């Protein structure tokens, strides 16, 4: 009998740690675990270690290799003794927005940044957090000897090795994805003239080291790169992930350098590139709206699905945690178009879902403008489980939407990387693609109208340059979301369907 080989993958994301143990040959999940993180934008990394320990408890028996995917950008600072200097500042902490503006100007403007590191930094990027630290907590800054990212820190706890990968390094703002080198000159400029030690950048199938128990540890990567690896993205595949962050990304052979700042030109976990747009407001817009309406998430779905598309004219700009794309770190949300006739819980629930998705749709436009011709949108992340999100997304995005079988895609991608490191070959192991449901819209005309209202309101309230929405979709209009078995993406049936 052939012995089953097992690998594990970890997603240390904003709200929790999730772990899957998979068959190394097929990717089939055998066991899983999870543990919550604190709800804060600065977190002691030791709490991630505690969550990792809890989530892996009792499930790693027989596992040969493990990989860690983690929330991007977080600033983890270590002192001479390897102790954490201060709680990590996370990707969604906006206090370094002023530092970001300073740095953009100092380096010669957005074009110079896009050319140097593929991205124009906003408050999410590590480099801006380091500038903030140098300016606001000089005593802490003086103690910093090493700077790492959340996944690097967990890999270091597992192996004792200070390593990272191209994918996560590309979110620092001091690494060039195109050249695959650190820009320590930029780090020095940001951090008071000195460059702390940085993790060594490993290749996609490299081994980081071993745990005390002898598990091989792969390089790990950022959570979005890990999800891309799990899904095995091909030409024209664009992912929309609805977790704490909303992200839109595809995989390309050439680097992006978008001076508008809407798209970050990251690297992926396979040696390619990963243009990505990110919003600060995704799944939690729905939890906040549900709490306000005193319903659970299923109740929010029921309310939203009972309203007409367009929410009776209500438009929500859901900038509840400030916003990153567009870059409005101090913004608050706005609800517009209220009349006595439309102020119902149903319309508010619908406006929350439409508003969240319109933010992602603007990101989708920006990512597609990098030269991706969309074949389909793959919808993942916690809020992809929402029935109302599934009903609204195809109309707002204007392309066929595919929902892969529910899975922890980041953890799966990290496990796939671990399997790759265990048996290094030119390509990641060919795990079979899972079944997915294909959704198409029911009200494409209204989708365009909803998009336009959202764009107009952004322009009105936040002076984001006004745009006329162009629906790229064909005229193949009326459709619904029933199941069928048609599997042709190129000439979609008007119904939703199972696909593999």
Neighbours of 427 (CB within 10 A): 10
Residue whose CB is nearest to ligand ADP in the complex, by number? 382
Record the tokens describing residue 108, joined without a space: 């010669």
Contact with ligand ADP (CB under 6 A): which of 243, 326, 400, 428?
243
Compare residues 224 and 481 and give the one whose CB is closer to ligand 5SP.
224
Cα 155 from Cα 35, distance rounded (Å): 18
CB of 74 to ligand 5SP, least distance (A): 8
Contact with ligand ADP (CB under 6 A): which of 151, 284, 324, 451?
284
Cα 179 from Cα 149, distance rounded (Å): 20
How many residues of this chain interact with ligand ADP, rule: CB under 6 A? 16
Among ligand ADP, ligand 5SP, none, residue 257 binds (CB under 5-8 Å by kind): none
Report if residue 13 touches ligand ADP, rule: CB under 6 A.
Answer: yes
Site for ligand 5SP in 285-314 (CB under 6 A): none
- The strand pairing partners of 247, in sequence order, are 241, 278
Report if residue 170 touches ligand 5SP, rule: CB under 6 A.
Answer: no
Compare residues 52 and 469 and give the one whose CB is closer to ligand 5SP.
52
How many residues of this chain interact with ligand 5SP, rule: CB under 6 A? 17
Q: Which of 152, 223, 237, 301 is catalytic?
A: 223
Angle, in degrees to the nearest 10, between helices 444-462 and 387-397: 80
Report if residue 325 touches ligand 5SP, rule: CB under 6 A.
Answer: no
Report if residue 381 touches ligand ADP, rule: CB under 6 A.
Answer: yes
Interface characters, 74-113, with ligand 5SP (x: CB under 6 A): -----------------x----------------------
Catalytic residue status for 223: yes
CB of 324 to ligand ADP, least distance (A): 14
Compare residues 290 and 360 and give the one whose CB is closer to ligand 5SP.
360
Applying CB under 6 A, the residues found at the interface with ligand 5SP are: 13-14, 71-73, 91, 124, 171, 222-224, 243-245, 247, 276, 278
**Residues carrying an active site annotation:** 223
């Amino acid at each position: 009998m052939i012995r089953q080989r097992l690998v594990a993958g970890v997603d240390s994301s904003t709200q929790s740690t999730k772990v899957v143990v998979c068959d190394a040959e097929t990717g089939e999940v055998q066991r899983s675990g999870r543990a919550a993180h604190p709800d804060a934008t600065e977190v002691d990394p030791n709490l991630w270690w505690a969550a990792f320990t809890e989530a892996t408890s009792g499930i790693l028996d027989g596992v040969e290799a493990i990989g860690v995917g983690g929330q991007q950008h977080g600033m983890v600072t270590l002192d001479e003794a390897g102790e954490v200097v201060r709680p990590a500042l996370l990707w969604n902490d906006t206090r370094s927005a002023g530092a970001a503006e300073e740095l953009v100007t100092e380096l010669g403007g957005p074009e110079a940044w896009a050319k140097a590191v593929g991205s124009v930094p906003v408050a999410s990027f590590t480099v801006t957090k380091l500038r903030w630290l140098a300016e606001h907590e000089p005593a802490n800054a003086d103690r910093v000897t090493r700077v790492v990212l959340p996944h690097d820190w967990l890999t270091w706890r597992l192996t004792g090795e200070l390593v990272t990968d191209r994918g996560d390094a590309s979110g620092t703002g001091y690494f060039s994805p195109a050249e695959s080198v650190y820009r320590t000159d930029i780090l020095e400029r940001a951090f008071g003239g000195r460059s702390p030690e940085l993790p060594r950048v490993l290749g996609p199938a490299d081994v980081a080291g071993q745990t005390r128990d002898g598990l091989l540890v792969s390089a790990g990567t950022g959570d979005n790169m890990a999800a891309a690896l799990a899904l095995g993205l091909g030409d024209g595949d664009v992912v929309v992930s609805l977790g704490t962050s909303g992200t839109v990304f595809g995989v390309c052979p050439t680097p992006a350098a978008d001076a508008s700042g809407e798209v970050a030109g990251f690297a992926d976990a396979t040696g390619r590139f990963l243009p990505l747009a990110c919003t600060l407001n995704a799944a939690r817009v729905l939890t906040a709206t549900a709490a306000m309406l005193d319903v659970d998430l299923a109740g929010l779905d029921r309310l939203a699905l009972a309203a007409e598309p367009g929410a009776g004219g209500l438009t929500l700009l859901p900038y509840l945690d400030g916003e990153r794309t567009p870059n409005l770190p101090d913004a608050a949300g706005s609800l517009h178009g209220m009349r006595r006739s439309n102020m119902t819980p149903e319309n508010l629930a619908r406006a929350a879902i439409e508003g969240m998705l319109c933010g992602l749709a603007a990101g989708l436009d920006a990512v597609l403008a990098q030269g991706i011709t969309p074949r389909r949108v793959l919808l993942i992340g916690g809020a992809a489980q929402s029935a109302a999100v599934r009903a609204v997304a195809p109309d707002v995005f204007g392309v066929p939407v595919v929902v892969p079988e529910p899975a922890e895609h980041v953890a799966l991608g990290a496990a796939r990387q671990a399997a790759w490191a265990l048996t290094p070959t030119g390509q990641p192991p060919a795990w079979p693609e899972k079944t997915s449901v294909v959704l198409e819209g029911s009200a494409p005309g209204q989708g365009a109208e909803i998009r336009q209202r959202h764009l107009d309101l952004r322009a009105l309230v936040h002076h984001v340059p006004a745009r006329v929405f162009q629906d790229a979709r064909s005229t193949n209009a009326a459709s619904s979301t029933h199941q069928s078995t048609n599997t042709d993406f190129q000439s979609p049936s008007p119904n939703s369907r199972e696909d593999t």
